[in-house]
Structure 1
Amino acid sequence: MFEVKRLGLVPYHEAWDMQKQIVKSIDEGNASNQLLLLEHPHTVTMGRGSHMENLLLTKEQYAERGVELVEIDRGGDVTYHGPEQLVGYPLFYLGERGNDAHAYLRDVEEALIVALRNWGIEGDRKPPYTGVWVGDEKIAAIGVKFNRGRQRKGYITSHGFALNVNTDLRYFNLIVPCGIQQYGVTSMEKILGKRIDMAEVMNQVVRGFSQVFGWPAVEEGERRNEAG
């Protein structure tokens, strides 16, 4: 089972702190697997594999454009987060799934591919890159941290994916996304030529994760309501 939390627009650092607290609770056995679904204000994040040349502006120039620059502890290079982009943070204990980091990344990709099919969008993989692609354009970026449990043997995941729904793709021109120069980025809106309902995207992403991971999804509050 995993619990789904739909959080709306959340500042990046606030969501990052939330992830750390939940990972600790999962490790201590006080919380179940969780999937946080949210959006961020304009933010450029730099993962552990980032190269400074993939930042095309100075920190001050990003700030002038209303973009926060944040160094974080996930894998991967530079990426952009912003409004109308669905960000998902699966906080999953992988000890019962063989602690297979490679398989986990493929499963996250597959969950998004399953979700996109609801709109007739054929997402695919493009080895050796991580993420989901439509043709030669990336529609979803994935960057993950595998936290080693202190009390439970195995990984607990944090960070996750960013799916471009109605994202303003011009912001990607401020970076070299994930360090990939030869391919572009796209969004559901760009592909379909119309705005997409974010609530329905969340519904389909939850369905995709439940199908791929084989776990039932419980919306936040449902368990408390049942107990009451």
Structure 2
Amino acid sequence: MGFEEMPTNNFVESSFWNFDVLFQPQQHPARDSHDTFFLKVPAYTQTLPEDYLQRVQKIHESGGYGSRGYGYDWKREEAEKNLLRTHTTAVSSRMLYALAQKPFTPKRYFSIDRVFRNEAVDRTHLAEFHQIEGLVCDKGLTLGDLIGVLNDFFSRLGMIKLRFKPAYNPYTEPSMEIFSYHEGLKKWVEVGNSGIFRPEMLLPMGLPEDVSVIAWGLSLERPTMILYGIDNIRDLFGHKVDLNLIKKNPICRLGMQ
């Protein structure tokens, strides 16, 4: 489908790239210790792009580009805090910022790697799991393009029962949660989140005003649970995993030119 893989080799990220550049306010509940693993050593990052940081601060405090912002005192100390990344969208923000520093070229990016969240462990949740991240950056993109890409992706996995539910994300508008029917659990299970990145995120980076970015973040474990009829995520990932599941299934080989 023409996607390039993003580098995801840094599990540790700064709050600036993980939250602030995504137009997520510093008082947002997801940023406190109940949902995020903050580092003690090193507790703070030392390298942030100063000119971009000032633009991000302005859009949070007083808005710009037609936005009113959030109207609060943005603190650099909060942005410098190091954490275990809560989503690979932190990588997407870095890639889009790098893209904005050059003459614009349409891009399709993806990544598959580990993320960390301080949440209760149950049949469908772990504090450590894998995320499939994808985005398309181009002119004239719509919500229909996003739905089309998601339907194409999941249909190739054999998952044709999809539902999309309107949602709220600080960094996308409109936003949609993605659900797929789980035959084992006999219910619809959320498998991802998606949306169109807000101008408050893209324009401070320096991307042209007519450029749109459709993006999505999908769990790797939940679609796998649906495909293999597994009703407990701890049977798929972690010390309770059944290695026979791996041994009995064929290797997936990608075609090489």
TM-score bin, normalised by smaller chain: 0.3 to 0.5
- TM-score, normalised to structure 1's length? 0.46
Structure index of larger Rg:
2
Where is the helix percentage greater, Structure 1 or Structure 2? 1
- TM-score, normalised to structure 2's length? 0.42
